[in-house]
Structure 1
């Protein structure tokens, strides 16, 4: 039986409003990213930073050389995930944090901290796989949270553009907000707003390799990680949906 309690109207100060409206899990993840980058820039010298990237950034070349040198390939056990906590500069970090705040927040509110972090890490790994598929012999390193953030973006797209569902309390007739349903992949692309957002997002990232033709120089953006992470988040979010 549903019960409702009418709160009395008062003009007294009900208490302090929170300064930050972000979910605690999102705030904690942002803090971890910031602390890691701050510590790496303050504590490590140039040689130390090189070693830091060597051990924790993702380098696809390790996959090729691992059979010849197992110790060189050992970081492949953790770097598909740990690279997401490293950044090349404050601007790189701030862009990823801004995107994280926007799209991790609805995912946390719907599924909780654990699923949000799981989607972030799985998407970071998927982004690393996509990066390796196009950079296997280049010797390049992948760093940044953008693959994981892209995954949270893909997960959020499955429900943030869906209409809010309501029901009526059977006794009082009062409207009850049920939330937004998780759209299927077909429904995601059938919805004009989610389809537009998804196609524009994919097109912009897929166009990054064309930047040298248009601008004469590379943008230095790991577009492969963005695409791989986004598609992973789009697909795996359904695993965390509660079944009634």
Structure 2
């Protein structure tokens, strides 16, 4: 065993991890980027169309499954798989950056599995909100924004809250316990979380008005953003008990 401060230990002590993101966040971002890279390199327009038909979320399947390939069955996976497809590089890069910012505090608080659960559940919630506001029109939802909005909503429950301090029962030393989990009421009474949440909701709710103002349609799934964000706000208490006892 080397003595503390020896030449053998010094380089290891000075090493910093290359990626500061939690592994689950790095994995999600990597999967999204890898899928988009693969689709741009391998698939032609026909292949991209087929990929979108089978893995993008198409609400019309709920009303007329016989008019689309696979019928009803793709509804079993497309509420989740649509989150891993993106329209272009700007789309996937924006979503991975957004993921890195807001999934990181969630992953550090709850771990990998709860983070994945929140991402997938809120992706599905965003898809349902999209369906509720687009049917009976034929539209397709792709992109991770619903799931990332859900992680953003989950983060709102604690990232702006004060840090809790406790006392170690053995040593009597003061220890940091993490940030307080806010109730929904506290989210909207804390000025920072309230302002962020209200700005987020208003900006997305205003998206349908943009075409009337600029005379041009914009392809933003604001419904998925709002649906994911709202459900994301509700989910953290389900995972809080396990975090408190770590």
Give the TM-score normalised by structure 2: 0.91
Q: May I ask how many residue pairs the two structures share in their alignment?
A: 237
Q: Which ranges in structure 1 are unaligned for 5 or more consecutive residues? A: 1-7
- 2:54 counterpart of 1:72: no
1:169 shift after superposition: 3.3
Cα distance in 2 for residues equivalent to 1:143 and 1:78: 13
DSSP 3-state at the match of 2:21: coil
Superposed, 1:1-244 pairs within 5 Å as: 12-13=10-11, 14-66=13-65, 71-170=70-169, 172-242=171-241
DSSP 3-state at the match of 2:142: coil
Cα distance in 2 for residues equivalent to 1:225 and 1:201: 13
DSSP 3-state at the match of 2:63: helix
Q: Residues 151 and 176 from structure 1, CA distance in 2 versus in 1: closer, same or farther, beyond 3 angstroms?
A: same
Cα distance in 1 for residues equivalent to 2:73 and 2:122: 21
1:15 shift after superposition: 3.2
Cα distance in 2 for residues equivalent to 1:213 and 1:70: 35
Cα distance in 2 for residues equivalent to 1:123 and 1:241: 18
Deviations 1:150-204 (A, max 9, x none): 0000000000010011123356443200101211111111111111110001011
Cα distance in 1 for residues equivalent to 2:68 and 2:33: 34
1:216 shift after superposition: 1.3
Cα distance in 1 for residues equivalent to 2:203 and 2:67: 39
Deviations 1:31-90 (A, max 9, x none): 100111111111111111100000000001110013788942211111000000000000
1:206 shift after superposition: 0.5
Deviations 1:190-244 (A, max 9, x none): 1111111100010110111110122111221000000000011111221111166
Contact residue 60 and residue 135 of structure 2 kept, 8 A: yes
DSSP 3-state at the match of 1:221: coil
Cα distance in 2 for residues equivalent to 1:102 and 1:158: 15
After the TM superposition, which of the residue ranges 147-156 and 41-50 deviates more from structure 2? 41-50
Cα distance in 2 for residues equivalent to 1:236 and 1:19: 31
